[in-house]
Amino acid sequence: MGSSFDPVTLEILWRRLISIVDEADGAVARTAFSSLLRDAHDYTCMFTDRRGRELAQGTFATPGQSGAMALGIKQIIARLPATDFRPGDVLITNDPWALAGHLNDVCVLSPIFHRDRLAAFTACVFHHADIGGRVGADNHDVHEDGLFIPLCKLYDGGVLNEALLDTIRWNVRTPEAVTGDIRSQIAANHVCAAQIRELLDDCALGGLDELADEIIRRTEQSMRRAISALPAGVYRAEGTIEQPEGKGDVVIKAAVEVAGSDIDVDLAGSSPQVDWGGNVVYNFTYAYVFMAIKSMFDPDMPNNDGCAAPLHLRAPEGSVVNCRYPAAVAARMQIGHFLTEIVYRALEGALPDRVIAASGGTPATMNVFYGRRADDRPFHAVLIRGGGTGASRCADGE
């Protein structure tokens, strides 16, 4: 299959796409209120083609957010008619089952129009320190976790939905910070959209479709070549995640099947969902399984929709790795972050040079502090503590 892009031109365009999304990332860092983004870079910017296929993500993207976003945004766009979008629209949601797995991760999604035609979408998911609700991992359902924002328009053709913004403002402890952070996400989308339109004009492109097809096709080919080099077979592992006394330990089982250039990951046999906030939605499970596969088989290949094409994931509905609504999910990282390690463990015999040992940052621990200052102003802060990186065959751990 031929291409209208020679290799040099394609590389130049790819680097420009990355610089665009990194500029959007920088806009968040410069304008957001939350200390969480400065301390942990707990946000991710990306953009997709007009069909919702991930085209580029920020250099410093967070794996749990980016993998869940890539899957979730594609699903959202696939179920909405293109005629539902118009210039100036901004959509917002923090539905855990639609995107990144808990209510604190709020997604702001904007269509990009070029010469009155829908060309792409840009999105930013940001971990908001405050989303209302009970603060803790011991919630029993998602309603205790905080404010649930279904997919809706925050801006409709450039007109702000004041009632929606007021609803958010009145359901959080630090309304100025939360609404300020949402505006920083909107600013990032504006930056990305403006730069994409400039790219299309500079390169005399009518849209991104042909470029997206070429980048995604090449990426998928590279990923499939790497997978094909592994002997076919089923590789298994399981892990136990210890819980406080009386809660019962959580077991994750993984069967990783390599069949030609495809990988099937089956998590059948994993524990049922739990009565606290450690439940993991399918998208977040997918994100950390994908992280393991991508980092082992083709770590240097750009992240886009093509990387994920060979991966097929099955996770039993109602299990801790594919929980049903309205399960509590606020602390989904306490279980979800182990998924990468368990997939590594399954493939350690087949790819010993590419697997690292268990890492101290699995899972991250969050300390949440909130209350009122002496002048009665509210405060709310989240501190993330991680650990080191496990050793590999060729290097000590960090």
- Name every residue whose Cβ is closer than 8 Å to that of residue 34 and which is 6 or more positions away in sequence: 126, 128, 129, 177, 181
Domain boundaries of the chain, sorted by first residue: 7-216, 230-385
C-alpha 385, offset from chain centre: 20
Task: Give the bridge partners for 147, in sequence order.
Answer: none
C-alpha 328, offset from chain centre: 19
C-alpha 298, offset from chain centre: 19
C-alpha 81, offset from chain centre: 23
d(CA 269, CA 316): 8
Residue 31's SS3 state is helix
How confident is the model at residue 385, as a pLDDT? 74
Q: 300 with 254: CB under 8 angstroms?
A: no
d(CA 198, CA 345): 45
Q: What angle do CA 338, 343, 344 make, to 5 degrees?
A: 95
**Residue 319: HSE in the Cβ half-sphere, 13 Å Cα cutoff:** 20
How confident is the model at residue 144, as a pLDDT? 97
How confident is the model at residue 318, as a pLDDT? 98
Verdict on whether the full-model pTM lies above 0.75? yes
User: Which amino acid, one-letter code, is at 348?
Assistant: E
Q: How much is the CA Rg of the chain, to the nearest whole Å?
A: 21
C-alpha 335, offset from chain centre: 16
Sign of CA dihedral 309, 294, 292, 362: negative
209-228 vs 282-297: helix crossing angle, rounded to 10: 70
Q: Which of 367, 362, 316, 361 is nearest to 335 (CA)?
A: 362
How confident is the model at residue 1, as a pLDDT? 45
Q: Which alpha helices (DSSP H) does the chain contain, by range?
A: 7-31, 35-40, 63-78, 142-145, 162-169, 175-202, 209-228, 282-297, 305-308, 333-336, 338-347
**Residue-level pLDDT, tens digit, the chain, 398 residues:** 456 789 999 999 999 999 999 999 999 999 998 877 777 889 999 999 999 999 999 998 989 999 999 999 999 999 999 899 999 999 999 999 999 999 999 999 999 999 999 999 999 999 998 999 998 888 999 999 999 999 999 999 999 999 999 999 999 999 999 999 999 999 999 999 999 999 999 999 999 999 999 999 999 999 999 999 999 999 999 999 888 777 789 999 999 999 999 999 999 999 999 999 999 999 999 999 999 999 999 998 889 999 999 999 999 999 999 999 999 999 898 899 899 999 999 999 899 888 988 876 555 677 888 889 999 988 888 777 777 788 888 889 88
